[in-house]
Amino acid sequence: MPQELPGFYYDAEKNRYFPVKGPIPGSSRINSSASSSSSSNTARKASIEPKQAKVRKELKRATTKMLLSRELYGRVIISAKGKYNFREEYTKRLVSEPTIWRYSWTDGTSYRALEQVDVITSMQDGEVKTDLLLGGGMNGSLSSFYVVDKDALEFDYGVRSTPDCAWPLDIKSKEAFVRSPGHLWRLDGASLDMFSSITCIKKFGKPGQRKILITTLGSATSGGSVSVLNLSDPLVLPSGYPMIGGNFNEITLFNRTVWTADCNSDGSQAFIGTDLGVTLVNIETGTQSWVCRCKSDIFSVQLDQSEKIALCGLRNGAIVTIDVRQRPDNFARLTRQRILLHSHKTRESLSGCNQNTSKDWFELKGQICQSGTISMPSSISCLASLKLYEQYFLASSMDGSIKLYDHRMVQRGAVQCYEGNVNSHTHIQLGVDPSEKFVMSGGEDNKLRLWSIRSGELLLEEKLMSSTPSVVCWQKEDICARDGYIDDNHSHLGEAWLGSRDGLFRMRWS
C-alpha cells in the first residue's frame, strides 16, 4: 500500500506519484488561442446584445437598489440626487418597460379615434357583459371589436384578431410573469361606412347609458356631421349580426368642416370645433347655436371640470378660453374682440437662444377671457384637461411641443415642458392615464413616448411601428385590484390602446 504524500497522488498503472497542482493526466489543455477565441466570442455576443435587454438589466439592478433602500429607510429613497418616494419611483420603473402587442387583421385603416365601452350582448345562452372597442378611420369606417379574454366569450363567425408581441423583442424573459391579453372579434356587419373621415369618438352621458358621440370631418361636396351611437340596450345577435346600425342616429349636418368635439357630463350638449368657430349642438333636438366665431380653424375643444369654460386650440397656434354659459342663437350678437397672438418666427435653437417673436392681432366673436389667451409656436394639435387637478391642462402643437399650463397663471408660461416629441403637421392625440400621472404621445418619427406629468421625465421612447401612433385610448376600468398589482388604488398600471396605419396595439405594464 503506497503511502500518502502531501501535495501528491499515486498512479497505480504508472507506479509513480504526480503533483496535485499540475494538470491531471489525460485531461485536455486549453491553449491560449482557444481561450482568446472564447473571449472574443463572448465580447462579440455582448456587442450584439439587443439594446432593450441591456436597458432591462440596468433597470433590474436599479430596482434591486430601490428595494434595498426601502428596506433600510422605508418609503423614502435616499440617493445622491435627493430623496424620492419609493412607490412613485417604482411605478415609473414599471411604466418605462411595458409589454405591447399588435393585433392581426386590424391594419389597412388609419385610426383617428378610439374608445372602449362596456356593452351587454344578447346571445342564445343569455346576456353577456363584455367590452367593445370602437375605432374610427380616415376612410370613414367605424369598426367595432369585441374585446374577449382567452377563456371567455367566443363566436363562431367573424374575424378573430390575435395578439403578437411587438415590444420588447426579448419577450421570452418576461413570459413567466406577463399575461398575454385576449383577442378581438370583428363580427360580420359590425362596421359602418361614414361619408368622410371620423374625427371624434367620445363616451358621454350618465353612468350606464353607454352613448357615443361621433363626428365626421366632411368632404369637398358636403360638410361634417354629428351622430350618436346608443349602446344602452343589449346588442341582439339572433343570427350573428350585431345590430349596431339600428342604434346609430345622425343628429345634425354642417355645411363646414368639423375638426373636433367635446360634450358635457349629462350628455345634453356637444361643443363642435369647425373651420369657422365653435358651435353648440343640442343632442336631443339637433339645434345649433354659435359660441365662438373666428377665421382660424378650431382643431381642439376641451371643457374644463366646471363645464362653464371651454379651451379652444386654433390653427394659428392660439389657445383661447371661452365662457360657454351664454348661448346666443345668432352669432351677430357675439361680442367682437381682438386677441393678441405671439407669432414665433424662429424656433428655439439647440444652443438655448430665445425665440424671435412678433405680435399679431386677430379677431374673435364670443365671450373670450383675454387673460386666459396664450399661444404656442405652431397649430394646436390636442388639448387635455386634468380632472383630478382641475386648474391644469396639457397642450400640444404641431411643432412637437407638449406643455402643461395652469389656468390661474397662463400668462406666466408653461408649468412643465415635455421634450423629445417629433411633429410637423399631423393631428396626434395626447393620452393621459386615469391616475393623471403620465402622458403619452406618438411622433412623426414613428416613436411612442411617455412622460411623467409631474417631473417631465421621459420614461419611454421606442419605435414600435412603421407609421405614426396617432391616437391613444386608456382603459378606464381599474383592473389593478382584480389582477393583484402592487398598488390597488392606481389604474395607470392597467392597459392602453394605440392606433395607427399599422393597426391596433395594446399596451400593458407587468
Q: Tell me which long-range contacts 104-108 makes (C-beta under 8 A, separation of at least 24).
A: 104/161, 104/162, 104/164, 104/503, 105/159, 105/160, 105/161, 105/186, 105/503, 106/145, 106/161, 106/184, 106/503, 106/504, 107/501, 107/502, 107/503, 108/503
Residue of 509, 438, 426 whose CA lies nearest to 467: 426
Strands 211-216 and 225-230: antiparallel
Choose the most confident range, by mean pLDDT, from 174-178, 182-186, 344-348. Answer: 182-186
- Residue 328: its pLDDT value, please? 47
Average pLDDT, the chain: 78
Alpha-carbon distance 168 to 407, whole Å? 39
Grid cell at residue 344: 414665433
Q: Which of 39-43, 91-95, 349-353 has the lowest mean pLDDT?
A: 349-353
Please give the pLDDT value at position 467.
Answer: 92
pLDDT at 351 over 90: no
Q: Residues near 422 by Cβ (< 8 Å), separated by ≥ 6? A: 400, 443, 444, 445, 447
Among candidate residues 196, 254, 245, the one with its CA nearest the CA of residue 225: 254
What is the per-residue pLDDT for 343?
55
CB-based contact 420:393 (threshold 8 Å): no
Give pLDDT, residue 500: 93
Which pLDDT score is estimated for 186?
86
Instruction: Report, as an integer, the average pLDDT of 46-58.
Output: 44
- Which range, of 93-97, 235-239, 410-414, averages the lowest pLDDT? 235-239
The Cα 237–Cα 127 span in angstroms is: 10
Residue 81 has what pLDDT? 55
Q: Find the largest Cα–Cα distance for the chain.
A: 121
State the DSSP string of 89-121.
HHHHHHHTS-EEEEETT--SS-EEEEEEEEEEE
Which residues share a beta bridge with 290? 279
Does this model's pTM top 0.85? My answer is no
Predicted confidence at residue 444, as pLDDT, reads 95
Q: How far apart are CA 339 and CA 321, in angstroms?
A: 11
- Give the mean pLDDT of 458-473: 92
Of 245, 286, 284, the residue nearest 267 (C-alpha): 284
Q: Which of 210, 191, 213 is nearest to 202 (CA)?
A: 213
The confidence band for 187, taking pLDDT boundaries of 50, 70 and 90, is confident
Determine the pLDDT at residue 417. Answer: 96
pLDDT score of 392: 93
What average pLDDT score do residues 217-227 get?
90
Quote the Cα angle for 330-335-339, to 5°.
130
Indicate whether 413 pLDDT > 60: yes
Looking at residue 4, what is its pLDDT?
A: 65
Q: How far apart are the first and last CA of the chain?
A: 66
Alpha carbon 167 to its chain's center: 15
Q: What is the pLDDT of residues 143-152, one digit of tens each?
A: 889 888 755 6
With cut-offs at 50, 70 and 90, classify the pLDDT of residue 281: very high
Greater confidence (30 vs 313) lies with 313
* pLDDT-based confidence at residue 9 (cuts at 50, 70, 90): low
**For position 341, what pLDDT does the model report?**
73
Q: What percent of the chain has pLDDT over 90?
A: 36
Cβ pair 466, 448 in contact under 8 A: no
CB 269 within 8 A of CB 275: no
The predicted pLDDT at position 383 comes to: 96
- pLDDT at residue 333, as a whole number: 74
Q: What is the mean pLDDT of residues 261-274?
A: 92
For residue 16, with 0-12 CB atoms within 10 Å meaning exposed, 13-18 middle and 19 or more buried, which class applies?
exposed
Q: Are 119 and 108 in contact (CB under 8 A)?
A: no
Q: Where is average pLDDT lowest: 124-138, 391-405, 434-448? A: 124-138
Which cell numbers in the block locate residue 459?
A: 420614461
Tens digit of pLDDT for each residue in 117-147?
A: 988 887 777 788 888 999 999 989 998 898 8
Q: So what's the pLDDT on residue 449?
A: 95
For the residues 233-244, what does the mean pLDDT come to? 64
Beta strand pairing call for 111-123 and 235-236: parallel
Q: Which of 188-197, 376-385, 479-488 has the lowest mean pLDDT?
A: 479-488
**What span, in angstroms and rounded, lies between the C-alpha atoms of 172 and 170?**
5
What are 14-27's pLDDT values in tens digits? 677 666 544 433 33
Higher pLDDT, 386 or 47: 386
Region of poorest pLDDT, from 85-89, 138-142, 490-494: 490-494
Give the range among 245-254, 295-304, 423-432, 465-474 with minimum mean pLDDT: 245-254
